[in-house]
Amino acid sequence: MDITSVGVVGAGQMGNGIAHVFALSGYEVLLNDISSEALSGAVALIDRNLQRQVSREKISQSDKDAAMARISTTTTLTDLGKCDLIIEAATERETVKQAIFEDLLPHLQPHTILTSNTSSISITRLASRTDRPERFMGFHFMNPVPVMQLVELIRGIATDDETYQTLRKVVDRLGKTSASAEDFPAFIVNRILMPMINEAVYTLYEGVGSVESIDRSLKLGANHPMGPLELADFIGLDTCLAIMNVLHDGLADTKYRPCPLLVKYVEAGWLGRKTERGFYDYRGETPVPTR
């Protein structure tokens, strides 16, 4: 199947990055969000990020102009029904995702492929609530999307091979690399990454090290580009907690129990960079550890 038009649900951190890379790769992109302000902010951010690529000579000015011309926006979810491929990139809550797919179903073309950018939720379960489980997959991009090379492809129990092969070709056209993951909680990347972040929070919680010493230890001792607490702030502590809860509930193993300190930060609304406070306080010129 030939994909030419792509609908993206959600204009947040992931959605605008997904729209960016698809438009730059020649796809017509329709970006949806319930907020017109979020849409205009996303388009402005994509423009800035593309301009940064121009200034670094990664792309030409004409590449940027053509990509921007391929992006349109709508606050009406059902407008996406005309697209060949739809990528849901809404908040990491299963009820929200289910409601989005249920609203889309009556408006889809017969050949439309549905995907979710979920980082942890069962693809089989999401697909079962649609009329096309054979044309439904997990399409998990890494953050930030324009920079990170990996895309996890997750087949549900009913996903057919044509859908899988079509999305593999899409990933190739984006200039990225795909990794196939089975449909188990958190797939591959977050199955490994989130328990590491959770353990870093436990290390802080138990007083083994400070925020600064934990992050410095992993950056210099394990050659990680970001420390685990800095990375958690970048991802969003609410997202980290949601994934840990999916792991804990789905695998019933106490090693996935979310650290109480992570829960406390989320309860406080300290979600990381997006709220300007998490394990670091971002309200000044330089981030300051909060513990």
The tens digit of pLDDT for each residue in 10-46 reads 999 999 999 999 999 999 999 999 999 999 999 999 9
Q: Quick check: is 140 catalytic?
A: yes
Does 13 show up as a binding residue in the annotation? yes
Does 14 show up as a binding residue in the annotation? yes
d(CA 279, CA 218): 15
Residue 16's H or E segment, with its range, is helix 13-24
Tokens representing 175 are 């200039």
pLDDT at 148: 96
d(CA 91, CA 73): 19
CATH number attached to the domain at 5-182? 3.40.50.720
Average predicted confidence (pLDDT) for the chain: 97
CATH class of 191-289: mainly alpha
Query: Structural domain boundaries of the chain?
Result: 5-182, 191-289
pLDDT at 175: 97
Catalytic residue among 152, 178, 198, 230: 152
Whether the model clears a pTM of 0.85, i.e. scores above it, the answer is yes
Q: Which residue has the tokens 């249920």?
A: 102
Does 143 show up as a binding residue in the annotation? yes
Catalytic residue among 5, 117, 140, 198: 140
pLDDT in tens, 223-262: 999 999 999 999 999 999 999 999 999 999 999 999 999 9
pLDDT at 92: 87
Confidence class of residue 95 from pLDDT cuts 50, 70 and 90? very high
Q: Quick check: is 152 catalytic?
A: yes
Backbone phi and psi for residue 139, each to the nearest 5 degrees, phi listed first: -130, 80
Catalytic residue among 16, 117, 122, 190: 190
- The rounded radius of gyration (Å) of the Cα atoms in the chain is 19
Tokens representing 250 are 């789905």
Q: Quick check: is 190 catalytic?
A: yes
Q: Quick check: is 122 catalytic?
A: no
Residue 168's H or E segment, with its range, is helix 161-173
If one counts every other C-beta atom within 10 angstroms of the C-beta of residue 252, the result is: 8
pLDDT in tens, 152-196: 999 999 999 999 999 999 999 999 999 999 999 999 999 999 999
